[in-house]
Amino acid sequence: MSECAFRRMVLEDIDRILEIEHASFPTPWSRSAFEGELKNNHFAHYVVVEWNERVVGYAGMWVIMDEAHITNIAIEPEMRGRKLGEKLLRHMMRIAWLKGAERITLEVRVSNRVAQNLYKKLGFTPQGVRKGYYSDNQEDALIMWSDLIASDLLADSSL
C-alpha cells in the first residue's frame, strides 16, 4: 500500500526539489533561492511530501503576523492526479493556522485552471490580478485569498 507523509524540508532535499521544480515551472527557482529560504528566512516554512519514502512534492510559505503567503507548491508530474497537491495544501493551511495566521494568499497563473480549481475547492477566492507577474512570458497572476477557519482545519480527515 502506498503511503503519503509530510515533513519539514531540509537542505539535503534540494537536489530532489530542483528536479521537481524544473519539471513543473518554466522559470524554476535556483538552488541558492531554496538555500536562502531554509537558512535565512525566519518567516519561511517549507514542507516535502513523500510517497513510499520518496520526495514527490513540496510547498513553501511565509507566515508574517496573521497572514500566510504560499510561495510555491509542486508535485512531480508523474504523481499528479492522486490528491497529493490537495493534501499538501491542506497541510500547509493547518501549519499556517497553528503559526497564528488568520488568512492565506497565493498567486497563480491566470491560465492555470487546474490549480485555480484546487484552490477554489479549499476556499480560496480571486481578489485581484498582478499584471505581467511571470517573467517568462509576462502572464498575469491571479491573487487568491482564503480565511483559515479552525473548525475546517481541525476536522480535516485528510491530514
Share of the chain above pLDDT 90, in %: 80
* Catalytic site includes residue 107: yes
* Catalytic site includes residue 119: yes
Q: What is the pLDDT of residues 103-143, one digit of tens each?
A: 999 999 999 998 999 999 999 999 999 998 887 888 899 99
pLDDT tier for residue 101 given thresholds of 50, 70 and 90: very high
Q: What is the pLDDT of residue 158?
A: 47
Q: Is the pLDDT at 154 greater than 50, yes or no? A: yes
Residue 159 placed within a domain: no
Residue 30 placed within a domain: yes
Question: How far apart, in whole angstroms, are the C-alpha atoms of residue 135 and residue 110?
Answer: 14
Residue 63 placed within a domain: yes
**Could you tell me the residue range of the domain that residue 33 belongs to?**
4-154
Q: Is the pLDDT at 38 greater than 70, yes or no? A: yes
Residue 95 placed within a domain: yes
Catalytic residue among 67, 107, 134, 139: 107
Catalytic residue among 37, 58, 76, 119: 119
User: How many structural domains are present in the chain?
Assistant: 1
* Cα dihedral sign, 118-122-124-125: positive
Residue 80 placed within a domain: yes
Q: What global pTM score does this model have?
A: 0.90
CA nearest to 59, candidates 75, 51, 47: 47
Q: What is the CATH number of the domain that holds 42?
A: 3.40.630.30
